[in-house]
């Protein structure tokens, strides 16, 4: 029977902790390393409702993308929901492992899963990580090309159809009939990466949590550079259309595409170490925070 230590070793081989951003603290959050692991549940967020479902399914291990603790804590009492979650996990023998920015960057991780879901080819990391130990290109985000150019509005529909349903939906900014071929994808909050995206030559940037001022500045710059190119001047990249256009997606929805790969990759890696394959499930309860959108 696999032990939690073997499951953690498998996870941290697939999604190395060395890929994590300096501010991030992924890895094993709750659990005893010698405990058996026969059932692994996956979910985007370790909300109280998700924890209850994992426990109800008798999971020995819950793997989430988002951390339970984003910042340092000084208590985990039952007065707070995080303390209640830790207590419930220990009482029911369910460990918690988090794959956050390390899973973002990994091969067959969050960024690659989203890019593959949208049909992109010839993928490369948007912001590469130099890892001599990996036979694959790894790093934050992905840049790829569509098999055939298509109007922005049609590509946006592909993105919307591939994502799990949320009330928030997606938002699109740009010339809707302009052809797009090269696409940059960064699941999660991505408005700090506009300079990197422009340098990539992407026609459209798919990300999440775009704030008003950074997005407005990026769009204004794209429009200005397009006007300069139409005058025959060298500015930015591409033709006379504004590039990159923007597609804003719900944060947890785009990141949860990762589980299409993890549901196969993780149990296979555990089986390689232990000789036994754990049972898995995806808790796909919507954890996007918005319940109503009024247009």
Feature table: binding site for a divalent metal cation: 65-66, 104
- The distance from CA 243 to its chain's CA centroid, rounded to whole angstroms, is 23
Spatial separation of the C-alpha atoms in residues 51 and 163, rounded to whole Å: 23
Spatial separation of the C-alpha atoms in residues 123 and 116, rounded to whole Å: 9
Pair 114, 207: CB distance under 8 Å: no
Binding-site residues: 65-66, 104
Spatial separation of the C-alpha atoms in residues 91 and 87, rounded to whole Å: 6
DSSP character for 23?
T
Q: Which of 116, 52, 38, 133 is nearest to 89 (CA)?
A: 52
The total number of residues written for the chain in this structure:
295
Backbone angles phi, psi at 78, to 5 degrees: -70, -5
In the beta sheet, which residues pair with residue 280? 40
Q: Which of 89, 133, 138, 87 is nearest to 110 (CA)?
A: 138
């Amino acid at each position: 029977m696999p032990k939690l230590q073997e499951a953690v070793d498998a996870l941290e081989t697939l999604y190395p902790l060395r890929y994590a951003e300096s501010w991030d603290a992924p890895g094993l959050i709750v659990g005893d390393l010698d405990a058996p692991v026969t059932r692994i549940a996956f979910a985007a967020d370790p909300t109280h409702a998700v924890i209850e479902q994992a426990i109800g399914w008798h999971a020995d291990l819950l793997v989430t993308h988002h951390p339970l603790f984003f910042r340092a804590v000084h208590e985990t009492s039952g007065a707070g929901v995080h303390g209640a979650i830790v207590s419930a996990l220990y009482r029911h023998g369910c460990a918690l492992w988090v794959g956050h920015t390390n899973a973002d960057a990994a091969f067959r991780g969050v960024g690659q899963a989203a890019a593959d879901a949208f049909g992109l080819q010839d993928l490369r990391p948007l912001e590469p990580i130099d890892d001599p130990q990996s036979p694959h290109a790894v790093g934050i985000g992905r840049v790829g090309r569509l098999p055939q150019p298509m109007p922005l509005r049609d590509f946006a529909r592909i993105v919307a159809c591939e994502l799990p349903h949320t009330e928030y939906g997606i938002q699109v900014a740009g010339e809707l009939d302009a052809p797009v071929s090269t696409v940059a994808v960064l699941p999660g909050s991505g408005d700090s990466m506009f300079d990197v995206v422009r340098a990539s030559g992407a026609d459209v940037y798919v990300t999440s949590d775009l704030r008003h001022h950074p997005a407005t500045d990026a769009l204004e710059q794209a429009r200005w550079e397009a006007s300069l190119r139409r005058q025959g001047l060298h500015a930015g990249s591409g033709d006379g259309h504004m590039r990159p256009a923007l597609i804003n997606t719900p944060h947890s929805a785009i990141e949860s595409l990762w589980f299409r790969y993890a549901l196969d990759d993780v149990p296979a890696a555990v089986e390689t170490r232990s000789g036994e394959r754990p049972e898995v499930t995806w808790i796909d309860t919507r954890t996007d925070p918005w319940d109503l959108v009024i247009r």
